[in-house]
Amino acid sequence: MSLLVDLVLVVLILMAAVWTILVRDRRDAVIAFIVLGLLLSLVWMRLYAVDVALTEAAVGGGATGLVLLRACARLLPVEAEGRLPGPGTQIAAGLLSALAAAGLAAVVLHPPVPYPSLAALAAENIHTVGLGNPVTAVLLAYRSLDTLLEKVVLVLALIGVWALTPDAFWGGAPGSLRARHASGALDLLARVLPPFGVLVSIYLVWNGADHPGGTFQGGTVLAAMWLLVMMAGLRDPPGISLKLLRRLVVFGPAVFIAVGFAGIWMSGWFLSYPPDYAKPIIVAVEAALVLSIAVILGLLVAGPAAEPPKR
């Protein structure tokens, strides 16, 4: 019976995916993509991966969709999409894709028995970090290198976006995110929602140690509140050379690296934690990371500077 629910979800998802690819208007494609993201969050819930569901909804559907929508708004609605390739190429592409999909499907249909998993190892060691949420344990303990490197990736992406600023505008602020048509509803949301958003974000991070949640989810909610405020025009985007801004961006990764080196002194290995203090240290690192993630995500959406710096 429950398989029926899954089947319906899969059909909806594939419909959204096909629509995303085939529809002519690019804005429709982006909206279909956002719908796909939200449906995928439901799929993650069905797969009992709540942390991932939160992240997909927040970052995959939400933040990515936002960036794509803003791009659509600035590109002409009906422009020369460029001619699609001829039928020969289309058929070849279709065959190649179908072949790839078939190969992958064949792999899915023949899983190894018994199915390999690291769940047992993760469970055995989770007491040494004192966390209740195994995904957080993986992200911030077992595989913390990936998470740390990924923060560096985010900072580099931000530099990459800022690199596209015209030279004269370096240090200025990104273009106003203010919505073109003044809306009472947007204004109301931007005044009422942020305090709750901040609370939700704190809850997600604090709770993420033992239950689903974590830095990315909390950070995205925080970034969303900031973006909301900027879109309603209640605050202007900050200049990209603002000292405070730069410090907030660097704060999270810097704390993480510092804790990493401290780990050598405290318990012998880079990014290791002393058994009794693991959880407080991890939560502290997460708190620092949340601030940086929020600022970086917001800035990635805002884009490069679009006006000269205010002197």
Partner 1 sequence: MIPAQVTAPDGLLLILALFLPAVSLLAIFVLGLRRPERIALPTLAGGLVVALIVALQVGHSGQAATYRLGGWLPPLGITLRADGLSAALIAMAALILFVVAIYARGNFGSEPDGAESRQPMVFWTLLLGLATALNTVFLAQDLFSLFVALELLTFSAVPLVSLEGSRETLRAALRYLLFALSGSVLYLIGVALLYGAYGTLDIASLHQVTRADRATSIALGLMIAGLMAKAALFPLHLWLPPAHAGAPAPASAVLSALVVKAPFFLILRLWFDVAPQPQPAIAGTMLAALGAVSILVCSVLALRQARLKLMVAYSTVAQVGYLFLVFPLVMGSEAAVPWASIGWTGGVLQLVSHAFAKASMFLAAGLIAQAMGHDRIDDLGGAAQAVPISLAAFALAGLSLMGLPPAGGFVAKVMLLTAAVATSNWWIAVTILAGGLLAAGYVFRVIGKSFAEPAKGAPPRNAVARSSELAVLSLAAVALMLGFLPLQPFAYLAIGQGGLP
Partner 2 sequence: MNAPTLYGLCAAALVGIGLFGLILHPTPLRKVISFNLVGCGTFLFFGVAARRGAGAGFAGDPVPQALVITGIVVAFAATAVAVALILRMLEAGVATMDSRPEPPDDLSP
Other CB atoms within a 10 A radius of the CB of residue 256 amount to 21
List Cα–Cα distances, 110 to 4, 46, 64, 103, 136, in angstroms. 22, 21, 33, 11, 30
What is the nearest approach in angstroms of partner 2 to the Cβ of residue 48?
4
Q: Which does 125 bind (CB under 5 to 8 A by kind): partner 2, partner 1, none?
A: partner 1
Amino acid at 24: R
Full DSSP string of 82-132: -PPPPHHHHHHHHHHHHHHHHHHHHHHHS--SSPP-SHHHHHHHHHHHT-S
Residue 198's SS3 state is helix
Our CB check for partner 2 shows the closer of 150 and 210 to be 150
Would you count residue 118 as binding partner 1 (CB under 8 A)?
Answer: yes
DSSP state of 234: S
Q: In angstroms, rounded to a whole number, what is the distance separating the alpha carbons of residues 109 and 15?
A: 22
Q: In this chain, which stretch among 7-15, 18-26, 162-170, 216-224 interacts with partner 1, using CB under 8 A?
A: 162-170
What is the nearest approach in angstroms of partner 1 to the Cβ of residue 199?
29
- Which residue is listed with tokens 């140690």? 209
Would you count residue 165 as binding partner 1 (CB under 8 A)?
Answer: yes
Phi, psi of 279 (to 5 degrees): -65, -45
Q: Which does 78 bind (CB under 5 to 8 A by kind): partner 1, partner 2, none?
A: none
What is the nearest approach in angstroms of partner 2 to the Cβ of residue 21?
4
Interacting positions 70-109 with partner 1 (CB under 8 A)? 103-104, 106-107
> What are the respective helix, strand and coil percentages of the chain, to the nearest 5?
70, 0, 30
Q: Which does 57 bind (CB under 5 to 8 A by kind): partner 1, partner 2, none?
A: none
The vertex-189 CA angle with 183 and 193, nearest 5°, equals 165
H or E stretch including 197?
A: helix 184-207
Our CB check for partner 2 shows the closer of 75 and 185 to be 75
Would you count residue 143 as binding partner 1 (CB under 8 A)?
Answer: yes
Residue 9 in contact with residue 42, Cβ under 8 Å?
Answer: yes
What is the nearest approach in angstroms of partner 2 to the Cβ of residue 81?
6
Interacting positions 239-298 with partner 1 (CB under 8 A)? 241, 243, 246-247, 249-250, 253-254, 257, 260, 263-264, 267-273
Q: In this chain, which stretch among 8-16, 22-30, 45-53, 111-119 interacts with partner 1, using CB under 8 A?
A: 111-119
Q: Which does 269 bind (CB under 5 to 8 A by kind): partner 2, partner 1, none?
A: partner 1
Q: Which does 268 bind (CB under 5 to 8 A by kind): partner 1, partner 2, none?
A: partner 1
What is the nearest approach in angstroms of partner 1 to the Cβ of residue 154?
9
Phi, psi of 93 (to 5 degrees): -60, -45
- Residues of this chain that bind partner 1 (CB under 8 A): 103-104, 106-107, 110-112, 115-118, 121-122, 124-125, 128, 141-146, 149-150, 152-153, 155-157, 159-160, 162-167, 170-171, 241, 243, 246-247, 249-250, 253-254, 257, 260, 263-264, 267-273
